[in-house]
Chains A and B, each alone.
Chain A
Amino acid sequence: MRASPPHTTSVIDREGVDVYYEVHGTGATTLLFVPPAPITHSQIFKAQVPYLARHYRVITMDGRGNGKSGRPTDKHDHTRAKNVADMLAVFDATATDTAVLVGHCSANWWCVEFAARHRDRVAGFVAIEPGVPFIGPVHQHWIDTHETWEAVLDDPQGWQLNNRHVYLTEHRRWVQWFFGQQLVEPHSTKQFEDAVEWALESTGEVLVAGDEGIAIDLPDRDEFHRLCAAIDYPVAVIHGDADICQTVERGREFAELAGGELHIIEGGGHLTLARDPVKVNHIIKQFVDRITGVPMQSHMWTRGMSRAKRVLYLSSPIGLGHARRDLAIAQELRQQRPEVEIEWLAQDPVTTVLEAEGERVHPASEWLASESGHIASEAAGHDLHCFQALRRMDEILVANFMILQEVVEDGGYDLIVGDEAWDVDYYWHENPELKRGSHVWLTDFVGYLPTPEGGDHEAFLTADYNAEMIEHIARFPRIRDRAIFVGNPDDVIPEVFGPDLPKIRDWTEAHFEFSGYITGFTPPTAEEAAELRETLGFGDDEKVCVVTVGGSGVGRDLLEKTIEAFPLAKREVPELRMIAVAGPRIDPATLPTHPGLEVHGYVDRLYRHLSVCDLAVVQGGLTTTMELTAAKRPFLYFPLSRHFEQNFHVRHRLDQYGAGTHMEYATTDPDALAEAMVREVGRAVSYRDVETSGAHRAASLIAELV
């Protein structure tokens, strides 16, 4: 899912070639993002747009040959003049008088030419890894392969793939080589996949036309130098010093010629905008504000010693489970530190729970891109590839991090607590100078694990992500002032992070404190349970089975299968009654009906029902299964398929408590499910006690920092 959709999209017919553009945000200042084409399209700016669109009007366009623009195969449709005219068409179609241009790679050449022709339309120019001709040195591999461009090579290797014939016959191979070389930064798997995927939305034929079209109206050297030297609008150049496509010297010389400022990203390659998005975003924002003279806003600064102690709590929005435990921790923290003010940066559905409890939700929460919406969009049937879903959430994580950073930037918070707030933890390790306040990291699992069906490649990817985390923490131990594992050492899965990587448990014990599990509620005593059953209308002669599938639409398949099994089970256990909770995203009216079955869209404080039921049928989510464990109810749990956390981490933890009956969705038919229900319903269980002091312990660990 995209972090923020455009409010306007349109296509301009440019003499038979479609040119697509999007408009995001509003504001007096407009930014036009121009991607190099046809090698990629406007999604290359996906880490910039959501942030900048909160401050300016942002226009992106797909250059001819990729994205939602046309795919001309005639090289005469790919000249500089045509590309520059496309930019003008976008200016006019969007009624934009002036804009700050932001280009990447060869699009910067078009930007310079555009400004020369339409000076009054350009307020400034940010050139990222500029591919401008005749300036600075050219990498030797481009010079070498220029010679063999037309040749049909016997067995082309490496940079020799930069060849007309290879483009036409082995497009993918070239694209993979090219981006593989560009992404010099370790752990770039996601950026690599993105770039290859976008490139492959075009074809080898279009790419050849694009490359050859450039040569048609190339200016001469002196003419282009004169053009650059005459630049009188503000320019900022951003360039990775390990750029294998455009030499960093080219960026430096262009900045000097244009009288612009230069920002070198040391250790960065050709895609700093994707690989160091936070830094690039801040450079662009500061540049634009400076050249447009945005006034310093009237603001308040509070003397250090006049400040109240303030905590910003970030509660992961994926599933509601974190909300309850975070509330329990916050309440404990207030007991221990009554003077501390707690604010929350969170999103729906967590904010609903927080507001109901009278907690203070930071207004910037409104701007957050929806993580739970993304996860829901990734699920289908009883399947959620949780690891890939997290990887594909990269755009949302950058967008949300930029918001968090604005909230904490002035240093007004003493402490930032992130319960699986991946964005903050990740980007503070990537941009350690941005850390503000102390930082507590909380999680209930450590280590990405591959699913068996993912094969070697998924194992490689999970190991790469784990390695990056391990390197982050080793390099910058100052980013996490405290890391808390919500559980016990035995709950950590006895696996390794990957080949040549540590054992997960050893590493976790060395880097975390353990709070024990935190349910956020105390299970009822036998007496209270009897009362509660009465309150809820559970008859003494009834055996109540609760089916719940959480708040997303993911659970429909399990719900339907369980409802199908219900009459079969009821035949064996006539006193069986079923309460099925469909959640906000499934319409109860669309589910079948049976005598003894009730279907609810929403049940207030469902944990009460779960704590006194005679059986529960649930997914493999940690919160619900642990609530059932704490209340010592028999339950059947079906982990979502390809969900590594539910299949490995949660299952391992439940085994520690001897709790629940693990079921596999794919191999369980309604008969087998009914049989398991009959076997389990009302069974006396002997689970290990779930600790009740977890929130207190976690709060004590946090309180030491504030």
Chain B
Amino acid sequence: MRARYPDVAATVERDGLALGYEVFGEGDTTVLLLPTWTIVHSRFWKMQVPYLSRHYQVVTYDGPGNGRSDRSVDPSRYAADAYAADAVAVLDACGVDRAVVVGLSMGGQYGARMATLHQERVAGLVLVGPALPLAPDPDRATIADNFLRPYPENPEGWDKYNLAYWHDHYSDFAEFFFSQIFCEPHSTKAIEDAVGWAAETGPDVLEAEAMRTPVGADGTRASVAAPETASEVWSQVLGDIDCPVLVIHGTHDRIQPHQAGFEAARLAGGELVTFEGSGHMPNVRDPIRFNLVLREFVERVAG
């Protein structure tokens, strides 16, 4: 059973693609919880929705490729700008002018683009463990190099972050990946949930997502190449944000280094709340503190 069922559950079509969205609660202030990498869908916000919707109107939606949204295999649908356009379409469908926008991991890219391309729609932006290439991450470069190559005979760890391996051993990859996301001890339930959501989509969708263009038309693929170019592009994007920004980042984040969150806050002129000992999804593993920090920010920018 869900702790809080939506008051509205509907779909909106943008450019031929159906996006499932949900609306909870009511209020003058709306909080939009963005999708993230489409390996999971909007249920990853389940620890936030019941609490926030007692105070605000909360909107969630599934990104293309998972949940109640169409399983697109068109890479252009997975570009950050496309996500920003989807988010605006969802706000339009809900009749919401402005919202406090919250993006986690890849959702940090979508939120940052939304705040620059559609700044009138964003009252404040929260970036959680944002997937922004703003800090040196040598491991990631190696992983990106190997992504399109054949995987080794006995793949270990991040060897599994490999396109061919996804196709051959999708659920094993998901289990590995979420064990890295949830590095905190005693995370069994969080891992089970996420692996379950991952099972609702598959390697074809993730492949399309991996081939996306992140920002503009410079051809860089965030997952697979050119970290230097990407770093410049994203620094520019963050510098252009003019709404209040809060970054939440765990010190033990194995997916995005804490340094990236620090840089994001600095570039955007925002605040940083560090979760010491937390991994990549503190909203799931430290939901109480996360909710309180989020509420405090929303109160301040929209209260």
Contacts and interface: CB of A to CB of B under 8 A. Distances in A.
A303 B277 contact: yes
A301 B300 contact: no
A307 B271 CA distance: 23
Contacts of A307: 277
Contact of A301 (B246, B271, B285, B293): B293
A307 B286 CA distance: 14
B interface, how many residues as a size bin? 10 to 19
A295 B275 CA distance: 18
Contacts of B293: 301
Contacts of A143: none
Contacts of B276: 300-303, 306
Given A301-B289, A301-B293, A305-B185, A296 B271 contact: yes
A302 B285 CA distance: 12
Interface in A268-300: 293, 295-300
Interface string A299-315: 11111011100000000
A306 B274 CA distance: 13
Contacts of B70: none
Where chain B touches its partner, the secondary structure class is: mixed
B286 A303 contact: yes
Interface in A649-706: none
B184 A303 contact: yes
B296 A301 contact: no
B289 to A, nearest CB: 5
Interface residues of A, number: 13
A89 B278 CA distance: 54
Contacts, number: 43
Contacts of A293: 300
A571 B265 CA distance: 81
Interface in B167-209: 184-185
Interface in B282-302: 285-286, 289, 293, 296-297, 300
Of A299, A302, A303, A306, the most chain B CB neighbours within 10 A belong to: A303
B273 A299 contact: yes
B272 interface: yes
B264 to A, nearest CB: 12
Interface in A61-118: none
A639 to B, nearest CB: 51
B168 to A, nearest CB: 36
B271 A305 contact: no
B263 to A, nearest CB: 13
Contact of B300 (A296, A298, A302, A303): A296
A303 B274 contact: no
Contacts of A306: 276-277
Contact of B274 (A295, A296, A301): A301
A296 to B, nearest CB: 6
Given A293-B300, A306-B276, A298 B184 contact: no
A298 B277 contact: no
Nearest to A300: B274
Interface string A422-439: 000000000000000000
A298 B275 contact: no
A298 B273 contact: yes
B126 to A, nearest CB: 12
Interface string A396-419: 000000000000000000000000
A305 B275 CA distance: 12
B265 A298 contact: yes
Contacts of B273: 296, 298-301
B277 A296 contact: no
Contact of B278 (A295, A298, A299, A303): A303
Given A303-B184, A303-B286, A305-B185, A297 B271 contact: yes
A421 B285 CA distance: 37
Nearest to A298: B272
Nearest to B289: A301
A282 to B, nearest CB: 16
B266 to A, nearest CB: 10
A306 B289 CA distance: 14
A305 B296 CA distance: 24
Contacts of A299: 273-274
Contacts of A301: 273-276, 286, 289, 293
A307 B276 CA distance: 9
A303 B273 CA distance: 13
A320 to B, nearest CB: 37
B26 to A, nearest CB: 23
A478 to B, nearest CB: 22
B275 A303 contact: yes
Contacts of B246: 296
Interface in A446-466: none
Nearest to A297: B271
B271 to A, nearest CB: 5
Interface in B41-92: none
Interface string B239-279: 00000001000000000000000000100000111111110
29 contacts: A295-B271, A295-B300, A296-B273, A296-B296, A296-B297, A296-B300, A297-B271, A298-B265, A298-B271, A298-B272, A298-B274, A299-B273, A300-B273, A300-B274, A300-B276, A301-B273, A301-B274, A301-B286, A301-B289, A301-B293, A302-B276, A303-B275, A303-B276, A303-B285, A303-B286, A305-B185, A305-B277, A306-B277, A307-B277
Interface of A: 293, 295-303, 305-307
Interface of B: 184-185, 246, 265, 271-278, 285-286, 289, 293, 296-297, 300
Closest 10 CB pairs of A and B: A306-B277, A303-B277, A302-B276, A298-B272, A300-B274, A298-B271, A301-B289, A300-B276, A301-B275, A296-B271
